[in-house]
Structure 1
Amino acid sequence: MPCPPDQATLRQRLATAGLRATTQRILILESLLQLPGHPTAEQVHRQVVLTEPTVSLGTVYKTLDSFVAVGLTKRVASTEGACRRYDSDCQAHHHLYCTNTKEIIDYSNPELDALIRDFFATHGLDNFQPHSFSLHIAGSRIS
């Protein structure tokens, strides 16, 4: 597990996003940043209750949704259907989904991004101007 970010950094991130730095928000943000991959709200909750057992799963969901609303995190579709996963990396990138392991792998490639931008510049959609994009590619890891 990565080193936890310091409290001042967490407080600053929340303040910059326009959120009050409550104890629960700090714990939830810290857990989201520490957990590997793209955790579910349930995984974040399991981490948070180790420190603060009174935090409910509903509070974790509401807090993560508020983080999404202010751009602190992104919601990521998953191969499990209704399961919501969260990505603390808000930089533009794509996701590869391993259908065997259910793993979500971050993928960045400027050449691919340029191809997509060029495609829409020449083959645009009627009455639609894309501002951002993220590919979700499903497949299997090859050993």
Structure 2
Amino acid sequence: MAVQFEKKTRMTPQRRVILDELRRTNNHPAADEIYERVRKRLPKISLGTVYRNLDVLCELGEIQRLELSGAMKHYDGIPKKHYHIRCVCCERVDDAPIAPLNELEDDLYSTTVFEIIGHNLEFTGLCPQCARQRNQQQATG
């Protein structure tokens, strides 16, 4: 997939590595996790550089910043609209396997004076590991 950038924004080596690392994973890492992964390939990169480049990649529409309730910011290498499910225990974030509800935005657009620019839908629950731990604790307690 070719990456389109405005003339003023170069694809720097740091940006390329950050984007590559995000697209290699589907676990929606936080900035500090991305920093640790990128440092393996670029040992001299700083956390500040990672944060700045994550912001640029978000502005360019190459990645998504997930600002989910009750959780630190996570990043998603898939820029297209989709939903997420977050574990309320360990904060794990996965993709929710449902199609975007585009008709919901269309319905709201026709009934409000707001200009609809998007929506967020977050599901919460327990990931399989946290659910197992809770069930084991309940069984022994």
TM-score for both structures, normalised by structure 1: 0.74
Aligned to 2:95, what secondary structure does the other structure show? Answer: strand
Question: How far apart are the structure 1 equivalents of 2:64 and 2:54?
Answer: 9
TM alignment of 1:55-66, pairs within 5 A: 55-66=45-56
TM alignment of 1:1-143, pairs within 5 A: 12-13=2-3, 16-18=4-6, 19-81=9-71, 83-110=72-99, 113=101, 116-117=104-105, 119-120=107-108, 124-125=111-112, 127-141=113-127
* Residue identity opposite 1:137 in structure 2: F
Residue 139 of structure 2 corresponds to none
Q: How well do the aligned residues superpose, as a CA RMSD in angstroms? A: 2.4
Spell out, residue by residue over 1:93-112, the C-alpha distance to the aligned partner (whole angstroms, 9 max, x if none): 111111123111212534x7
More strand by share: 1
- The structural deviation recorded for 1:22 is 1.8
* Residue identity opposite 1:20 in structure 2: R
For structure 1, the 5+ residue unaligned runs are: 1-8
Bigger Cα Rg: 2
- The structural deviation recorded for 1:63 is 0.2
Question: How far apart are the structure 2 equivalents of 1:20 and 1:99?
Answer: 38
Aligned to 1:28, what secondary structure does the other structure show? Answer: helix
In the alignment of these two chains, the number of paired residues is: 127
What percent of counterpart residues are identical?
Answer: 25
* Residue identity opposite 2:101 in structure 1: D
For structure 2, the 5+ residue unaligned runs are: 133-141
Question: How far apart are the structure 2 equivalents of 1:21 and 1:121?
Answer: 36
Residue 135 of structure 2 corresponds to none
Deviates more, 1:21-30 or 1:133-142: 133-142
Contact 1:33–1:88, Cα closer than 8 Å, also in 2: yes
